[in-house]
Amino acid sequence: MVIVVGSLNMDLVVRAPKIPRPGETVLGSDFKQVPGGKGANQADAASKLGAETAMLGAVGKDSMGDQLIQALKKDGVNVEMVLKKENLPTGVAAIVVEDSGNNAITVAPGANSALTPDDLSGMEKVFEKAKVMLVQLETPIDTVKASLRMARKNNVTTILNPAPATELDDEIFSLVDILTPNETELELLSGMETDSIEKIEAAGKHLLKKGVSKLIITLGSQGSIHIEKDFVKLHPAYSVKAVDTTAAGDSFNAALAVSLAKGEPMENAITFATKVGAMTVTKHGAQTSLPLMGEVLEFDAWYEKMKVEER
Ligand code: RIB
């Protein structure tokens, strides 16, 4: 079983020719409301990839909260541990997606910020059943820490996707089995430059010394780098035409968790996650873009077709 501790947001998405600069107004095109939030996206992706998945998080007592819970439930996620908080609205994310597929996201966390370590205390039974826990940084850091401690106590493999980037203390690093930053997150966490593969490797090794067991650094269209003590491997990305990169990192992390929970070796898990991430960027929205296991099993045929269409 995969357990996800994290955020649920309603994404308010506008498509625009480009992301505005500070002070600039850009005329966009269509507007959509799509279920999102890094935690919820990861839970939804894991469930669509066939893993028994439980989500632990918080929404407000409002219609957006109900919609987010329903969206996860429909895709098979166990939402019994998604709490409804009084006096706080459900989290929302304002997202601009430009024609290149890149996005800019601002999150108003609302109820996500009220998920406390105490909320986890009654939930140890679920951790006892889990193989892998996924957690990100859109909920309070004390809650992230409490979840990592509880996972470690129950021999659950921990994956921390350190997004959005924030500085972390050494106790957190020591509780993480697999850290999955992108280059900018790695730069902030290590305090080192990450503008070349050599520098990324050095920054990654610096975090290994702080107690993280393994790092998988995601590099977007460049692929990812897997770093362990005395081991570095670059995994190239599949070349696809991105229409929206929202949730690509989330689906990558979820796929990694699903594969590792099945007992697959890390190399296979990264290959699987790379395929899932590639499929995600070819569709619009967060949870609306996450592939089903059946679709990923047909990846090779899908990829050939994509290449032909691009020619
Ligand atoms: O990772 C993508 C997610 O980040 C979006 O769905 C948005 O809600 C923000 O949390």
Q: What is the pLDDT of residues 20-63, one digit of tens each?
A: 999 999 999 999 999 999 999 999 999 999 999 999 999 999 99
| Mutation probe of ligand 1 site: the residue of 9, 96, 280 with most atoms within 8 A of C-beta | 9
| Mutation probe of ligand 1 site: the residue of 13, 64, 95 with most atoms within 8 A of C-beta | 95
In whole angstroms, what is the distance from residue 106 CA to residue 55 CA?
Answer: 23
3-state helix, strand, coil in the chain (%, to 5): 40, 25, 35
In whole angstroms, what is the distance from residue 265 CA to residue 186 CA?
Answer: 24
Which ligand 1 atom is at minimum distance from the Cα of 41?
6
Structure tokens at 181: 């930053």
Which ligand 1 atom is at minimum distance from the Cα of 40?
6
Nearest protein CA to atom 2 of ligand 1, as residue: 247
In whole angstroms, what is the distance from residue 212 CA to residue 169 CA?
Answer: 12
CA–centroid distance, residue 311 to ligand 1 (Å): 32
Q: Report yes or no: 225 and 216 within 8 Å, Cβ to Cβ.
A: yes
Q: Is 118 a catalytic residue?
A: no
- The finding on whether 246 has its CB within 6 A of some atom of ligand 1 is yes
In whole angstroms, what is the distance from residue 113 CA to residue 7 CA?
Answer: 9
pLDDT at 122: 87
Q: CB count, 10 Å around CB of 189?
A: 25
> Using CA of residue 273, residue 115, residue 213, residue 191, what is the dihedral sign?
positive
Q: For the chain (length 311 residues), average pLDDT per consecutive 10?
A: 98 97 95 98 98 98 98 98 97 96 96 97 93 98 98 98 96 98 97 96 96 96 95 96 96 98 98 98 97 98 86 67
The CA distances from residue 133 to 175, 210, 217, 253, in Å, are 12, 20, 18, 11
pLDDT at 309: 78
CA–centroid distance, residue 229 to ligand 1 (Å): 31
Question: What is the fold of 2-6+37-88+112-310?
Answer: UDP-N-acetylmuramoyl-L-alanine:D-glutamate ligase (3.40.1190)
The CA distances from residue 234 to 40, 59, 222, in Å, are 28, 38, 9
Structure tokens at 84: 């409804």
CA–centroid distance, residue 231 to ligand 1 (Å): 31
Q: Is the whole-model pTM more than 0.75?
A: yes
Q: What is the pLDDT of residues 236-254, one digit of tens each?
A: 999 999 999 999 999 999 9
Each domain of the chain, given as residue ranges in start order, spans 2-6+37-88+112-310
CA–centroid distance, residue 246 to ligand 1 (Å): 7
Name the 3-class secondary structure at 23.
coil
